[in-house]
A and B are shown apart, each in its own frame.
Chain A
């Protein structure tokens, strides 16, 4: 049995690794442990590492200001490895073994869906910092990114305002793009827009010439892009080299922020619109301080983005709820959280009492040649989160699907 030796050594390494993390778990009473669970490797690392950085900055800020309830926050960082079962496994580890007070983590909806049963089962708290497809409201998750009526629907409103009526849908093949596109199709049907095509590619897909050929043959007015991760790089390079410009066929993206622009190459994507709640250029006093602190900690060439800001907010909002509750006990924090309202980099953010999402301002921006994003439209005031789109008659029936 020649194979036995490598397997044995692999087992040994795993056993050693497990011992290593055991040693770190002894907590002292003047510390509050929180979990940070993001993909630090694999296809999603490009995006998630920066969210972890922003969360670490928030923890540092809170500790420098005296901590929470007089105790220091201690981050326990785990790697979800862009692999959904790993997220569930690491979430269980953080909750059961490290006994963290809350977990901040996730990016893809697939990872959130994988973690959700863990948090519901052990009645622990997850703060999820990324925009997503809605149609979910777990009592044990706080959603600090946008739900659809704070990002996708404003994005569609913007396209409609611009006279873009014939739309092509391009997305990664998992739950967020597929659900988002269901909502987009319902919106289009109710608003006289035409969906010319709907294409999905696996996460990590890098060959887009066939897809771009299909899009160009359909000649849409605009493309609604829900691709995630590295695929965006290949997609925009392929569009650019096929001669597609932002003027002839704008591609509205909902998963590309400042951080991704550098990797895509600004010359490939400048001029295309994106929909978010925050840009590095958003003009608020809190944002000035956030951008300054982030650059001071991680380097002057770093940029800040919406999910980073939402992760940063999540930590501060949780700390505020703990202060209000006077304890880190989950049910008490849940009870204290609704109505908490803070001036954050993106403007005023309020925790909603009905669904644990945030009231957020929607903003459409255009990617500039310097790689930053310039806001061209905003909703004026924070929009109440409506994850099940109950306030939109055309969306009736989507939640049940």
Chain B
């Protein structure tokens, strides 16, 4: 019974990891509709930033900047020429992700590197270690920050305006190109922050991004494009489902169950948990 109850916080903490890796994607994929396969490599860039700085607290803002700038460069140099062409963008960013993986391999070597967990994160409460609680805290902080940005700042409102109707936003005097830049910067930067957090629980190596990219897309798609509350609910739901499915079966089967559940769910609600009401998308 204790094992069963333990799975509840474990599920929530898996959900927090999912939320964190998907948060940036709710921007680039959710808001802008860009299928960015290199999102995982921005997560990796964040993790390597933590490795270079060897300091968790410093690494969080630094990784945001590093990954954000990488995203900015990618958006300006390539992706903006492919807006409205999702298949081409997919291939392009997939190629970029391979290049970035190889770059990491050349810069840091193929073997994993070590990012020591800070001393204040050793120990824990019950089944949840402090590093898991830290990730949950970070996920909550990230969601709140994104929500405040989107609803309480001028820039955020402009972002939403562009998402809902690009032409109308442009005719209203919003510089949509700049909004795109900023949105991509923030989305990529958030991936970097997730990368720092992931050094606490997983390997730090060139292939890091590939382990999380599918899960990140799963959360955003199940939650509904551009829907922050949808992504939060989907992350928690998938986290809990994963936790209990693995508890009752095993890790391989749990992956199958989660994927099957998402596919079945999308049959019922093809646009995810929440649907953005917008004339552009219909």
Residues of B near any A CB (own CB < 8 A): 2-3, 6-7, 10, 13-14, 17, 85, 87-88, 91, 101-102, 105, 110-117, 121-124, 127, 129-132, 200-207, 210-212, 242-243, 246-247, 250-252, 254-255
Cβ–Cβ contact A42 & B251, under 8 A: no
Chain A residues positioned under 8 Å from B204 (CB to CB): 233, 263
Residue of B nearest to A211 (CB): B251
The answer to whether A211 touches B205, judged by C-beta atoms less than 8 angstroms apart, is: no
- The answer on a CB contact under 8 Å between B251 and A202 is yes
Main secondary structure of the interface of B (DSSP, over half): helix
B91: min CB distance to chain A, Å: 4
Closest 8 pairs between A and B when the two form their complex, measured CB to CB: A263-B112, A241-B129, A233-B203, A201-B251, A230-B203, A206-B202, A217-B3, A49-B110
Whether A209 contacts B114 by the Cβ 8 Å rule is: no
By a CB distance below 8 angstroms, the chain A residues around B200 are: 237, 241
- Shortest beta-carbon distance from B109 to chain A in Å: 8
Question: Is A205 a contact of B251 with CB atoms below 8 Å?
Answer: yes
Q: Determine if B207 and A263 form an interchain contact, defined as CB atoms under 8 angstroms apart.
A: no
Contact of B101 among A41, A200, A201, A242 (CB under 8 A): A41
Interface residues on chain A, number (Cβ under 8 Å): 46
Within the assembled complex, what's the spacing in Å between the Cα atoms of A49 and B106?
A: 12
Interface set, chain A 198-249, CB cutoff 8 A to B: 199-202, 204-207, 209-211, 213-214, 217, 230-231, 233-234, 237-238, 241-243
Q: Which residue of chain B has its CB nearest to the CB of A9?
A: B91
Contact A262 B112 (CB under 8 A): yes
- Chain A residues with CB under 8 A of B243: 209-210
Closest residue to B87 on the A side, CB-wise?
Answer: A3
24 chain-A/chain-B pairs, Cβ below 8 angstroms: A3-B87, A41-B101, A46-B111, A47-B111, A49-B110, A200-B252, A202-B252, A206-B203, A207-B14, A207-B201, A210-B14, A213-B127, A214-B247, A217-B2, A217-B3, A230-B203, A233-B112, A233-B203, A234-B202, A241-B117, A259-B111, A262-B114, A263-B113, A265-B117
Cβ of A6 within 8 Å of any chain B Cβ, yes or no, is: yes
How distant is B209 from chain A, measured CB to nearest CB, in Å? 11
Inter-chain CA distance A158–B119, complex, in Å, is 33
Docked-complex contact B131 and A241, CB < 8 angstroms: yes
Assess whether A320 is interfacial by the CB under 8 Å rule.
Answer: no
Known: A43-B207, A213-B127, A241-B131. A50 touches B111 (CB 8 A): yes
Q: How far is the CA of A230 from the CA of B121 in the complex (A)?
A: 22
> Whose C-beta in chain A lies nearest to the C-beta of B6?
A213
- Note all chain A residues with C-beta closer than 8 A to B130: 241
Knowing that A173-B251, A233-B204, A263-B112 touch, tell me 12 more A-B residue pairs with CB under 8 angstroms.
A10-B91, A45-B207, A46-B112, A46-B205, A50-B111, A202-B251, A210-B10, A213-B127, A233-B202, A241-B201, A242-B127, A263-B203
Min Cβ gap A9→B in Å is 9
Q: How far is the CA of A145 from the CA of B146 in the complex (A)?
A: 52
CB < 8 Å: which of A2, A49, A202 contacts B85?
A2
Which of A173, A205, A214 is B3 in contact with, Cβ under 8 Å? Answer: A214
CB <8 Å contact, A199 and B251 = yes
Partner of A173 from the list B110, B211, B252 (CB cut-off 8 Å) is B252
Q: Which residues of A contact B105 (CB under 8 A)?
A: 41, 45
Q: Does A100 contact B (CB under 8 A)?
A: no
Highest count of chain B CB atoms <10 Å: which of A2, A206, A231, A241: A241
- Contact (Cβ within 8 A) A263 B3: no
Give 1 or 0 for each of A40-81: 1 = CB within 8 Å of chain B CB.
111101110110000000000000000000000000000000
- A261's closest neighbor in chain B, by CB? B114
B201 touches A230 (CB 8 A): no
The answer to whether A194 has its CB under 8 Å from any CB of chain B is: no
B246 in contact with A210 (CB, 8 Å): yes
Contacting residues, chain B, for A199 (C-beta < 8 A)? 250-251
Which of B117, B127, B130, B246 gathers the greatest number of chain A CB atoms within 10 Å?
B246
A42 vs B203: C-alpha distance when bound (angstroms): 13
| A267 interface contact, C-beta 8 A | yes
Contacts of B115 in A (CB 8 A): 265
Contact yes or no, A237 B211, CB < 8 A: no
With contacts A6-B87, A202-B252, A214-B3 known, is A209 near B207, CB below 8 A? no
